[in-house]
């Protein structure tokens, strides 16, 4: 069988539409790839071979009859385990939802199916999207395809690893504080966190409702643009959905180098030397092409980690209260007493990190502490949003490293939650402000591990991010998997 799994998204789309190969050929190639390699990577919690082949066969028939649902008909897409698919287990990588089958599709899933995408669930994740390494899954630890002794990032680590390992050409993740961008960076692929409200959250199991956003991951920019154009747009079932049409890919145009105003950060001690070198090398190249580099003061954003974790844990405390063994979740009733049912169901169903964040959020919302913590954090969030507005009155785009480090080893930070939280130091402020950002691969460190660049734009200006990403695509093309996994 031809190794179609090696193709990037843009080549797959071209091949399907030209008739070079069929959706069934493609699905069989990817299934063979998953069967051969996922025991090393553990990107998927489970996947149903028969349903994938059935969907691919239906797409093949539509294409043979000349009636494809769209130009995307037959393209496989991985799906993170917190995005609901009808009659499919959606466990959020948690024991408490181990056997939960969703009775409905998420809006993003409905839109993908309407265009003929072939779904490949369930990509592993940190439990309830709480983590930066995919080590908090209740079932397995996903490994980085560039080095299986290292983490892929999180919480969308399964989706990112699946794309990087060529199990799927594109995938859906969710981003609350960097959970699409950080694993995209550590796995050497593209990952977009859209403007808040441009992609419906209906059917995304909530972690922190004012921060969560579904976003695509891909090995090339075309996959990001196409998937975003399909899943974006107003949804009446989501009260936070913006009243805008779906993104129009024709808006994407390369930006002029000359006069382009780029906001940059000063390198701090948290940034690894190899990451700093790659970042500064790119900035120097941009300046040589005529871009104007402008130093921005990120001192206020340095407080984004504590602000983020107060708001996120408060919202998670509220959102996860429904998983009590009665309304949702596995029921553990050892004594027949109501209090014991709640305590046992939740203590056995939730992992340690989820319990930690629920307790932190409950504390910050409690009487006597609400104003001191949650209230102050919300006021500080307004300042961060205004800070971004100030930045974009001076610059067109902001460039930063996505992650201060490349992928760290499995188990390296699990004993120190604070160090793990610092992995998101450069990404959380974007979610607090609600602006769009994307991670783009720009090179590798001395160990061959990927380095990502975070591109941030004003709200609703994903087109600027995409246009700039196309301009620097030569850097991304240099990031390739090592021979051991190719």
Q: Which residues of 255-282 are buried (b: 16+ CB within 10 A; e: fewer)?
A: beeeebebbbbebeeebbebbbbbbeeb
Burial class (CB in 10 A: 0-12, 13-18, 19+), 6: exposed
Burial class (CB in 10 A: 0-12, 13-18, 19+), 117: buried
Q: What is the pLDDT of residue 483?
A: 61
Q: Which two tokens stand for residue 262?
A: 């780029």
Q: What is the pLDDT of residue 98?
A: 94
Radius of gyration from C-alpha coordinates of the chain: 21
Q: Which residues of 318-355 are buried (b: 16+ CB within 10 A; e: fewer)?
A: bbbeebbbeeebbebeeeeeeeebeebbbeebbbebbe
Q: What residue ranges define each of the domains in the chain, with the CATH number in brackets?
A: 4-257+397-477 (3.90.1300.10), 302-376 (no CATH)
Q: What is the pLDDT of residue 431?
A: 98
Q: What is the pLDDT of residue 204?
A: 98
Q: What is the pLDDT of residue 417?
A: 86
Neighbours of 152 (CB within 10 A): 35
Strand partners, 346: none
Alpha carbons 282 and 267: distance in angstroms, whole number:
14
Number of residues that make up the chain:
486
Closest alpha carbon to 355 in 382, 388, 328, 317: 317
Q: What is the pLDDT of residue 485?
A: 62
- Return the active site residues: 80, 155, 179
Phi, psi of 477 (to 5 degrees): -65, -15
Q: What is the pLDDT of residue 326?
A: 87
Closest alpha carbon to 217 in 233, 193, 251, 245: 193
For the four alpha carbons of 233, 234, 240 and 242, in that order, the dihedral sign comes to positive
Question: Which segments in the chain show pLDDT lower than 70?
Answer: 1, 483-486
Q: Beta strands of 241-396 (E only): which ranges? A: 261-264, 292-295
Query: What pTM was computed for the model?
Result: 0.96
């Amino acid at each position: 069988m031809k190794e179609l799994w090696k193709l990037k998204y843009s080549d797959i789309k071209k091949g399907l539409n030209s008739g070079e190969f069929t959706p069934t050929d493609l699905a069989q190639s990817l299934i063979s790839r998953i069967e051969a390699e996922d025991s090393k990577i553990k990107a998927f919690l489970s996947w149903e071979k028969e349903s994938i082949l059935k969907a691919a066969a239906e797409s093949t028939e539509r294409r043979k009859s000349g009636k494809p649902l769209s130009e995307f008909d037959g393209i496989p897409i991985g799906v993170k385990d917190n995005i609901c698919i009808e009659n499919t287990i959606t466990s959020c990588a948690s024991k408490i939802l181990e056997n939960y089958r969703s009775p409905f599709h998420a809006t993003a899933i409905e839109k993908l199916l309407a265009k003929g995408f072939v779904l490949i669930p369930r990509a592993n994740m940190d439990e309830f999207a709480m983590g930066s390494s995919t080590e908090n899954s209740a079932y397995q630890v996903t490994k980085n395809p560039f080095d299986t002794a290292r983490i892929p990032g999180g919480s969308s680590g399964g989706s990112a690893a699946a794309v990087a390992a060529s199990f799927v050409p594109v995938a859906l993740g969710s981003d609350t504080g960097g959970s699409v961008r950080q694993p995209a960076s550590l796995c050497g692929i593209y990952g977009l966190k859209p403007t808040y409200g441009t992609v419906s959250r209906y059917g995304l199991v909530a972690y922190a409702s004012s921060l969560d956003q579904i976003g695509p991951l891909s090995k090339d920019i075309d996959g990001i643009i196409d998937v975003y154009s399909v899943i974006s747009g107003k949804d009446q079932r989501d009260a936070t959905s913006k009243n805008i049409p779906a993104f129009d890919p024709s808006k994407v145009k390369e930006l002029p180098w000359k006069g382009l105003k780029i906001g940059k950060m000063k390198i701090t001690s948290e940034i690894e030397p190899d990451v700093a070198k790659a970042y500064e090398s790119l900035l120097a190249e941009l300046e040589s092409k005529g871009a104007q580099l402008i130093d921005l003061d990120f001192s206020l954003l340095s407080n984004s980690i504590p602000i983020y974790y107060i708001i996120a844990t408060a919202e998670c405390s509220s959102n996860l209260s429904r998983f009590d063994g009665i309304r949702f979740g596995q029921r553990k009733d050892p004594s027949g007493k109501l209090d014991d049912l709640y305590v046992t169901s939740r203590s056995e169903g939730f992992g340690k990190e989820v319990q930690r964040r629920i307790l932190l959020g409950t504390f910050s919302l409690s009487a006597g502490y609400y104003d001191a913590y949650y209230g102050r954090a919300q006021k500080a969030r307004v300042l961060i949003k205004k800070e971004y507005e100030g930045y974009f009155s001076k610059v067109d785009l902001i460039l930063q490293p996505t992650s201060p480090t490349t992928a760290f080893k499995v188990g390296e930070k699990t004993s120190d939650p604070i160090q793990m939280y610092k992995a998101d130091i450069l990404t959380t402020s974007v979610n607090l402000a609600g602006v769009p950002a994307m991670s783009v691969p720009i090179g590798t460190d001395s160990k061959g591990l990927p380095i990502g660049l975070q591109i941030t734009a004003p709200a609703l200006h994903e087109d600027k991010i995409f246009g700039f990403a196309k301009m620097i695509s030569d850097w991304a093309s240099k990031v390739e998997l090592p021979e051991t996994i190719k």
